[in-house]
Amino acid sequence: MDTIDREPLPGVPQTAFRPAGLLALLMIAAYFGVADPIDLGVSPLALEQGRWWTLVTHMFAHAGLIHLAFNALVLFFLGGPIFVRMGRGAMAWARFMLFFLACGLGGAFLYVALNPASIIPAVGASGAVFGFVGLMARLPFMRPGQPMPQVDANGIRPLTGELLLRNLFLIGILSLAGLVMPIAWEAHLGGFLVGLLLGPLFLQRRNPPVRR
- The catalytic residues are 126, 188
**Beta-carbon count within 10 A of 141 CB:** 13
**CA–CA gap between residue 91 and residue 14 (Å, rounded):** 18
**CA–CA gap between residue 1 and residue 142 (Å, rounded):** 38
Among residues 184, 40, 11, 19, the alpha carbon closest in space to that of 100 is found at 19
**CA–CA gap between residue 16 and residue 81 (Å, rounded):** 7
CB-based contact 190:134 (threshold 8 Å): no
**CA–CA gap between residue 4 and residue 15 (Å, rounded):** 11
